[in-house]
Chains A and B, each alone.
Chain A
Amino acid sequence: MTPAADGAAAVEVTGVSKVFRQAKGEVTAVESVDLTVAAGEFVSLIGPSGCGKSTLLRLVADLVEPTSGDIRVFGKTARAARRDQDYGIAFQAAGLLPWRTVSANIELPLELHGVGRAQRRERARDLLELVGLADFAKSRPEQLSGGMQQRVAIARALAERPRLLLMDEPFGALDEMTRERMQAELVRLRDETGAAVVFVTHSIPEAVFLSDRVVVMSPRPGRITHVVDVPLAARNEDVREAPEFYATVTAVREALRGRSVAPGAEASPTEPAIEPRGADLR
């Protein structure tokens, strides 16, 4: 991982559009999107199916190329950032290789980039410790539950010590209990690594619990309609019962329904700030 220019934002998306050409015609997945994610910031992308949230994440990951516009990751092009392993990624499916042990799965990215065996083992051990699976290094993926597999996937994403984590509905296939536990884990991991996170979800409470900012998108064409700041200080289980939490959940829900709640419309100290699209997004 080569150090990026000082002060560069983790992600800087400027005027990006993505048009998929299909047999039936053209589909505009994302239209003129601007988004900046600061280093160490946690940003969730939320919206109904087809709003382009996954496409936006995949654009940042250099899995698809933009039709127009510019994408910078730590000041580099998305392709250079991918080549330099500046980000780690996790999908809804863990995508573990069934013929490799849990440890060997985490070591895979290191192996691909020529890290020595001893060093790989050590890093995998540390990461398994971090995600609470130290006893499962020698296990096969199929012996693990869905939640445990997803932890391995996250550990693998962290293997190269990236300063940016891209996550595409990583908890989408988990049950509610596991999901909440994994959210708490992710908050802790993020605090320990200091990495910026771009997190795609369609769960409102999940987005609010995890994020510094929630980016609300709408479909056809996919664009950013609102950005909701989350005014929560600590992220622990008590927060889920806090009035600020509920107020922010409501604000995101209203934004998703297309009703813009102007900041200060209600004189409430817990009212989160909502910036309509087009405002300066940091």
Chain B
Amino acid sequence: MLLLALVLAGLAWEGYKLVGDEDGGSVFGVRVLPRADDVSMPHLWEIAQRLADPELSAAGSHSVLVAVLLAMWFTFRVAFVGWLIGVVVGLVLAVLMQRVRVAEAALLPYVVVSQTVPLVALAPLVVGWGGHLTLFGRPWQPWMSVSLIAGYLAFFPVAVGALRGLQSPSATQVELLHCQAASWWQTLLRLRLPASVPYVVPALRLAAAASVVGAIVAEISTGTRGGIGRLIIEYAQSATGDPAKPFTALLGAALLGVLGAALVSLIELGLRRYAPAGSGEVRS
């Protein structure tokens, strides 16, 4: 299915180049369709060719593919740490909000408001704080700021999804455990957490996408080197002379998102016995 989707996307791209106007479509002077010329939309094979070519004109330069893969690996690690932070913080917040009703009333508005603060505004602040911090005796690293910002984006879907999931058991199920003299902790482990799985798994997937986007945006706005975010900016500068190059970095960023979603599918596979009745099969 994934392969078919990729082929269709490729066909759409090349098909538009075939029929689309070189100068794009305009209605009353406003361009509504993108330009189809080779600078705006290079052919797919040109992008593939560019991946194989050396990154820089200097002798001994490795290929663009290697550069993109290295950047992806860097951003993946940073985004993964951000995802972990987001998942842990999101789950802890959800359990707290489920446990103490006052906490839900007090925290949930802030959780929602937190997502309206623009990342670009937040990034320099985090970097500024990080400059004064040490972590277990080690100085704060720039990538830690990026992970933190990625986690800031990732915790939101987890907190909201897990809260709904923890509240999903029926009154009968909750009362039964009460009658069986189950402690709060036992009720959490035996009832609420298992019941929350169908809500948490989609939240984990959203968090994976959010942490990749968060890491890339944070790399750009903090000026962190080594990741795919930096590569996107660098390659964009050569867009006029080397139109295929920026697309290689974009391709890498998209692949990171797919990779994150795929890893969550592995988690889903491991938790499939908690899937709701009738959906025993995991989507592929």
Contacts and interface: CB of A to CB of B under 8 A. Distances in A.
Interface of A: 61-63, 82-85, 87, 89, 91-95, 97-99, 108-109, 111-113, 140, 142
Contacts of B276: 98
A108 B194 CA distance: 14
A39 B176 CA distance: 23
A-B pairs with lowest CB-CB distance, top 7 = A95-B172, A142-B277, A93-B172, A109-B180, A89-B179, A99-B274, A95-B173
A69 B176 CA distance: 25
A159 to B, nearest CB: 9
A85 B180 contact: yes
A142 B274 CA distance: 13
Contacts of B225: none
Contact of B182 (A92, A93, A94, A112): A112
Contacts of B191: 97
Given A98-B277, A108-B190, A93 B170 contact: yes
B178 interface: yes
Among B176, B276, B278, max chain A CB count under 10 A is at B176
A83 B181 contact: yes
Contacts of B181: 82-85, 112-113
B141 interface: no
27 contacts: A63-B178, A63-B179, A82-B178, A82-B181, A83-B181, A84-B181, A89-B176, A89-B179, A91-B175, A92-B172, A94-B172, A95-B173, A95-B175, A95-B176, A97-B173, A97-B190, A97-B191, A97-B194, A98-B277, A99-B273, A108-B190, A112-B180, A112-B182, A112-B190, A113-B181, A142-B277, A142-B278
Given A63-B179, A85-B181, A97-B195, 10 more contacts: A62-B179, A82-B179, A87-B179, A89-B179, A91-B172, A95-B175, A95-B176, A99-B197, A99-B274, A109-B180
B180 A91 contact: no
Interface of B: 170, 172-173, 175-182, 186, 190-191, 194-195, 197, 273-274, 276-278
Nearest to B276: A98
Contacts of B177: 112
A92 to B, nearest CB: 8
B274 A91 contact: no
B162 to A, nearest CB: 17
A244 to B, nearest CB: 35
A244 B191 CA distance: 46
Q: Is the interface of A mostly helix, strand, loop or mixed?
A: loop
Contact of A63 (B175, B182, B186, B190): B175
B242 to A, nearest CB: 54
B180 A140 contact: no
Contacts of A62: 179
Contacts of B186: 112
A188 B273 CA distance: 35
Contact of B179 (A61, A94, A111, A142): A61
Nearest to A92: B172
A99 B180 contact: no
Contact of A108 (B180, B197, B273, B274): B180
B172 to A, nearest CB: 4
Contacts of B274: 99
A110 B172 CA distance: 18
Among B172, B175, B179, B186, max chain A CB count under 10 A is at B179
Nearest to A159: B180
Contacts of B278: 142
Contacts of B195: 97
A113 B181 CA distance: 9
Contacts of A109: 180
Contacts of A98: 276-277
A6 B180 CA distance: 24
A109 B181 CA distance: 8
A63 B179 CA distance: 7
Contacts of A91: 172, 175-176
Contacts of A111: 190
B267 to A, nearest CB: 16
Nearest to B191: A97
Nearest to B277: A142
A265 B175 CA distance: 45
A95 B170 contact: yes
A124 B273 CA distance: 21
